[in-house]
Amino acid sequence: MRTKPFLLLYLFVSVILTGCARSGSFVFLEGNALGTLYSVTYRPPPNVPHGFEDTMKQTIARCFDQINNSFSIYNNHSLLSRINDNRSQETDSIFRIVFLKAVQITEETAGAFDISAAPFFDIWGFGAQKKSNVNTTSLEEVRNYTGMDMFELEDAKLIKKDLRARLNMNGIAKGFACDFIAHAMGNQGVTDLLIEIGGEIVCKGFNPKKQPWKIGIDSPVDGNTTPGKDVFVTLQLTNKALATSGNYRNYYMKDGQKYAHTIDPRTGEPARHNLLSATVVADDCMSADAYATAFMVMGADGAIAFLQEHPKLGAYLIYEENGVFRTFVTNNINPEL
């Protein structure tokens, strides 16, 4: 593993796209889902029937509908909303997959990733309820009913130990969505694809140049709201997933203080450290998404220590040290400068 200084960093996704669904050509689809933008690039398998592109559109739409109906905190009728509001205990199969993965990663990261931190996100203005008025009394009270030990999955029912407890799966749901769509498309014979949902990525096979997909990393500069505007480094990936978490887009200023959306579930307060951006490469995007979130809570030192103990994970960390941007890159990924 290695570190090195640099002055400017960027992120982009480099693909060559066509709008034709002919065999051998790549198709590009894009739209809005899960509160963000998504894009899907794929090569139809040989000898596909007429209307295959429409079939793919319908497949993707069904996947998003299932995910929205299961995990969305903005959909009042979703399973998650009903569980949070104590209107139901019932779950579905994809809810249970994500919940159990969240439990696993919470244990591995010693609570740095924790979907039960939803009440803290509401307090700081990053949850379903937009608030920004915080007092230490409310934080102390909320700490009494956060933590994954507040929930127990019994068959298909999710039981709460405190009815005030709530879940927020935003730190893992987009990654799962990439995996879910990739699996659905793979079941219909697609072997070359790239799926990107709000910066989380799954890539399979090869790009139109018959090479690994090229993925880039964005500059972690406050206010950088245009993904891919500039490029500093790219990664070549195939049959892998990638997720990036950072505090340079989703934040607000109040009384001269920056409040970023990375909340430390262990304290209930915004994480404050020198890690600016965490990109994780893993076999599945659900895991990459959750680990990237956890690293932004741990900070650079904690994330580096974790990576040294989990060598199967790949990561590209951007942090600040003495006013200089530096990176930590695991040996199992090869960035191109």
Residue 337, pLDDT above cutoff 70: no
Instruction: Return d(Cα 273, Cα 317) in angstroms, integer.
Output: 13
Q: What is the pLDDT averaged over residues 219-244? A: 73
Residue 8's pLDDT is what?
29
Q: Decide if pLDDT at 228 tops 80.
A: no
In the chain, pLDDT over 90 holds for what percent of residues? 66
Lowest mean pLDDT among 89-103, 165-179, 288-302, 313-327: 313-327
Report which of 99, 100, 35, 96 is spatially closest to residue 64, judged by C-alpha positions.
Answer: 35
What's the rounded mean pLDDT across residues 229-244? 85
In whole angstroms, what is the distance from residue 146 CA to residue 136 CA? 15
In this predicted structure, what is the pLDDT of residue 137? 61
The CATH homologous superfamily to which domain 75-170 belongs is ApbE-like superfamily (1.10.3980.10)
What pLDDT score was predicted for residue 192?
A: 98
Distance in angstroms between the alpha carbons of the first and the last residue of the chain: 17
> For residues 151 and 23, what is the distance between their CA atoms, to the nearest angstrom?
48
pLDDT at residue 74, rounded to an integer: 87
Whether the per-residue pLDDT at 258 is higher than 50: the answer is no
- Taking CA 207 as the corner, what is the angle to CA 201 and CA 209, rounded to the nearest 5 degrees? 155
The rounded distance, in Å, linking the Cα atoms of 268 and 142 is 8
Helix (H, G, I), strand (E, B) or coil at 17: coil
pLDDT for 127: 57
Alpha carbons 206 and 235: distance in angstroms, whole number = 14
Mean pLDDT score, 236-262:
69
pLDDT tens profile 290-313: 999 999 999 999 999 999 999 999
Handedness of CA 114, 125, 300, 223 (dihedral sign): positive
pLDDT digit string (tens) for 37-72? Answer: 999 999 999 988 889 999 999 999 999 999 999 999
Q: Distance between CA atoms of 46 and 133, rounded to whole angstroms?
A: 57
Instruction: List, in sequence order, the alpha helices (H) in 158-314.
Output: 170-186, 285-309
Q: State the pLDDT at residue 11.
A: 32
How would you classify the pairing of strands 234-237 and 213-216? antiparallel
Q: Alpha-carbon distance 76 to 147, whole Å?
A: 23
Q: Dihedral, CA atoms, 231, 237, 241, 247, nearest 10 degrees?
A: -20
Q: Where are the alpha helices (DSSP H) in the chain?
A: 52-71, 79-84, 93-108, 118-124, 136-143, 170-186, 285-309
